[in-house]
Each structure stands twice: as structure tokens, then as C-alpha cells.
């Protein structure tokens, strides 16, 4: 295992507000002759050894042990004093690495859903019952506690959400604005005159075009929390020829041009919504990014994959090569929670080469359709509200960042869905926090 990645994980677990001197006081070794060099030593569990790493025997066995109430993937809960050093047998380095790299996905490449994604319900965090808890962030709190026990003075982790990302994916901007939409409108028995008005009148009258309401909701929260703490992003698709990439919308169309203008005037960021096709052929990402930059006049640095279909962990190399700095894909479609075990943005480590990259992954906390759709969680309004508020509380307790994904089609009025009401409720609760 390369030292850059180990050093990064220790630094990540400690937090940005901790000095390099304290980082250097933590060792990751089982050589007892070296213990006296450190204040704290974490004993490696053997996960990174050449005969174990990359094999099925490296996967944790259920049920997991716990360290002070937190699930532990590797090592044992033993904490002992050896001379002047606190020795931790809980391998929180390997446990963190396993989660933040999606390591289990390279070991179990045969487990994928119909879209080529690793299903959340097959993941270790879900099967072990901790997907709703950011246990990597719990390790962070434990490590600080151990350092304080040793006598080092550390700032407390503030129990507040550090950053809120309100994100939206532009999958279907409108329902009735194309010629196909006009035919759909007539089939929906809206009448010929209403259908023609729907095609040619103001885009704001289209049922899918809920952006004015979304801007209003987002701006209200941003004013209450401060615009630096709360930011909004619209991820726009600029390619894709698969049927899953339908409806294909043109960035040159009047409606999309108007939307982009509104997005910018509402101080929203624009990101690339890499197409389903680009998820299958990641070399297309760079081309899609260039097209979006040419059409928006903006340098694009943010990405989220359509269908959350970042299929294989090492596909991230294509995002890096395309000049993407921040990715917002990392949530499971079928169940909301902490896919990477953390609510903090974390640099991607390639689990195949073990190389530490520059790309920052922002964990996706809650996606609208994960909660409501029968094929995913299928929750009632009350259940979805309780589940979402618990995730938000978890982020707050560890001082992490929160990312919500709400589609414009989920914000429709009178659609029979509870998602518009839930979004409004969650933003009101966030304003109180």
C-alpha cells in the first residue's frame, strides 16, 4: 500500500483543522520496535498484504465486531497502552479505505443490476445494517477522542452541517414542448388548442418545468444559511444516444437557453450530467464536457452520472482525464444513505492501482426517487420524511456536508407524488438547523 494513500486517510480521518505535527504522531505499523515513535499506533489487520488484497478472502465477515458502538470492518476492538503509546487494534485505516474506494465492487464485479450498477442492497453497509450511518466519520470522532485521552489538545468537531448542496439533474426538461410532446398532449386529452398552446406558449406552463419553484425554494434556504454554506447545481446532459438517454434535448433550443440563463441569474452552478452511454463508454465524457462548455460559455468542473451509473470504480480515471474536479454520483439508486461511509468530500483512491487521485467525491445523501419508487425503497411520505431527517441529523452530528438530489419532474404539482412536499419540508428543517 503506498504511503501517500495511508497518509491521506489518516489526515482525512483527523480533519483539515489538525496540524501536520499531530498527523505525524499517528503510526500505522505492527512493528513494536517503532511504537515509541508515535503517540497512537493503529495495528494493520493484514488487509493490504499482497496475498490478501484483491481476493475474496479480504472481504469482511458478518456479523461485524464493534469498537465503542461503531461497526468495525477489520481488526479487533482491543485498545491497550504499550509503554507511552496507545495501541489501537481496530484497523480503522483499512475499514475507511474499503468504504471510500468502493473496494467491494472490484472484488464482486459479477454483482451488478440491469444498468451495470452495484446495488446498494447488496453492499456491505446495507447488509451489516449501517448504511444510514457515516461510520467513517464516527472513526474520525473516535480517533480524536483517543488523541485527547493521550493528552493532546484538539478542537471539537462542530455538530453542524458544514455545507449543503442542492442538486438537480436535467433528465426531462419539459413534457409537451416538442412535436412528440404535442402528440402526447392530444393523447392526454388536453384538447387541440391547449396542446398547441403547450407547444408554443410560455415554457413555464409546462408541468415538468418546475424550475421557478425550485429556484424560489433553494434561494430561500440559501439566504437563511448563507450562500457560501448552501449552493445549488444543475447537472445538464449534452450527449447520449441510448434509449435511457431519452428524451434527447437540444442545448440550442429556446427553452434550454432560457433555462441556462435562469440558472446563472439565480447564482446556480452548472455541472455535466454524463450520459448513460458515457457511463458505458467513459471515453465519451470528455467530448460531452466540451459540448456543454461550448454551449454554456462556462468551464465545467462538476459531474454526476445519469442513472448514478458510475459502473466500475476505475471509470473515475476518465473524469479525471476530462478535467472534472468534483463528482456528485456517489449514492446508491436503490437505497439512500452513506455509500462511501462518510458525509465528507473525499479524494478518490483507485482500488485497482491504489493511487490517490485529485478528484473529489461528494457523497450523495438523498435522491428523491430512491425514497418513493416501489422498486427502490417504496416508502410512504411519513417514512420518507423520518428516514431523510435521520440522515440529515447524522450529517449534522459528525459535522459533514449534505447533498440532496431532486429532479424537476419530482417537483410537479398535483402529480400524486409526495416529493414536492417533502423537498419543501426538508429545506424548512434545514433552515432551522
Predicted confidence at residue 199, as pLDDT, reads 83
The whole-number pLDDT of residue 188 equals: 87
Per-residue pLDDT of the chain (433 residues; tens, 9 = 90+): 778 999 999 999 999 888 999 999 999 999 999 999 999 999 999 999 999 999 999 999 999 999 999 999 999 999 999 999 999 999 999 999 999 999 999 999 999 999 999 999 999 999 999 999 999 999 999 999 999 988 888 888 999 999 999 999 999 999 988 878 777 878 888 888 787 777 888 999 999 999 999 999 999 999 999 999 999 999 999 999 999 999 999 999 999 999 999 999 999 999 999 999 999 999 999 999 999 999 999 999 999 999 999 999 999 999 999 999 999 999 999 999 999 999 999 999 999 999 999 999 999 999 999 999 999 999 999 999 999 999 999 999 999 999 999 999 999 998 999 999 999 999 999 998 7
Q: Where in the chain is the domain with CATH 3.20.20.370?
A: 163-173+208-432
pLDDT of residue 187: 87
Which listed CATH number (3.20.20.370, 1.25.60.10, 3.40.250.10, 3.40.50.300) goes with 163-173+208-432?
A: 3.20.20.370
Q: What is the per-residue pLDDT for 178?
A: 86
Give the pLDDT confidence score for residue 186 in this predicted structure: 84
Say if residues 67 and 77 touch (Cβ distance below 8 Å): yes
**What is the model's pLDDT at position 200?**
85
At 150 the pLDDT is 81
Amino acid at each position: 500500500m503506498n504511503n501517500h494513500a495511508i497518509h491521506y486517510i489518516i489526515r482525512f480521518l483527523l480533519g483539515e483543522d489538525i496540524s501536520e505535527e499531530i498527523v505525524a504522531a499517528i503510526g500505522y505499523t505492527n512493528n513494536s520496535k517503532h511504537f515509541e515513535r508515535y503517540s497512537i499506533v493503529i495495528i494493520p489487520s493484514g488487509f493490504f498484504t499482497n496475498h490478501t488484497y484483491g481476493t475474496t478472502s479480504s472481504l469482511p465477515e458478518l456479523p461485524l465486531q464493534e469498537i465503542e458502538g461503531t461497526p468495525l470492518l477489520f481488526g479487533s476492538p482491543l485498545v491497550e497502552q504499550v509503554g507511552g503509546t496507545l495501541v489501537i487494534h481496530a484497523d480503522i485505516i483499512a475499514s475507511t479505505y474499503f468504504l471510500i474506494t468502493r473496494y467491494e465492487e472490484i472484488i464482486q464485479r459479477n454483482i451488478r443490476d440491469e444498468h451495470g450498477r452495484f446495488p446498494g442492497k447488496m453492499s456491505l453497509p446495507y447488509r451489516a445494517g449501517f448504511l444510514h450511518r457515516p461510520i467513517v466519520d464516527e472513526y474520525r470522532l473516535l480517533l480524536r477522542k483517543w488523541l485527547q485521552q493521550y493528552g493532546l489538545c484538539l478542537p471539537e468537531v462542530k455538530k453542524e452541517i458544514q455545507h449543503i448542496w442542492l442538486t438537480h439533474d436535467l433528465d426531462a426538461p419539459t413534457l409537451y414542448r416538442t412535436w412528440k410532446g404535442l402528440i402526447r398532449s392530444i393523447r392526454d386529452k388536453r384538447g387541440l388548442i391547449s396542446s398547441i398552446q403547450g407547444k408554443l406558449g410560455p415554457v413555464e406552463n409546462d408541468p415538468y418545468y418546475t424550475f421557478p419553484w425550485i429556484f424560489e425554494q433553494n434561494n430561500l434556504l440559501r439566504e437563511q444559511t448563507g450562500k457560501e454554506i448552501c449552493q445549488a447545481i444543475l447537472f445538464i446532459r449534452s450527449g447520449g444516444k441510448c434509449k435511457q438517454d431519452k428524451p434527447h434535448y437540444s442545448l440550442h433550443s429556446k427553452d434550454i437557453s432560457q433555462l441556462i440563463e435562469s440558472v446563472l441569474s439565480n447564482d446556480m452552478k452548472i455541472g455535466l450530467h454524463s450520459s448513460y452511454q458515457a457511463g458505458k463508454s467513459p471515453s465519451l465524457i470528455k467530448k460531452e464536457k466540451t459540448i456543454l462548455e461550448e454551449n454554456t460559455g462556462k468551464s465545467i468542473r462538476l459531474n454526476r452520472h445519469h442513472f448514478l451509473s458510475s459502473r466500475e470504480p476505475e471509470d473515475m480515471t476518465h473524469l479525471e482525464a476530462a478535467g472534472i474536479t468534483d463528482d456528485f454520483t456517489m449514492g446508491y439508486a436503490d437505497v439512500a444513505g452513506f455509500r462511501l461511509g462518510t458525509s465528507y468530500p473525499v479524494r478518490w483512491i483507485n482500488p485497482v492501482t491504489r493511487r490517490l487521485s485529485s478528484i473529489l467525491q461528494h457523497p450523495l445523501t438523498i435522491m428523491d426517487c430512491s425514497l418513493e419508487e416501489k422498486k427502490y425503497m417504496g416508502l410512504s411520505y411519513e417514512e420518507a420524511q423520518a428516514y431523510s431527517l435521520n440522515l440529515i441529523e447524522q450529517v449534522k452530528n459528525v459535522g459533514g456536508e449534505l447533498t440532496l438530489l431532486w429532479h424537476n419532474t419530482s417537483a410537479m404539482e398535483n402529480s400524486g407524488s409526495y416529493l414536492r412536499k417533502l423537498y419543501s419540508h426538508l429545506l424548512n428543517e434545514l433552515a432551522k438547523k
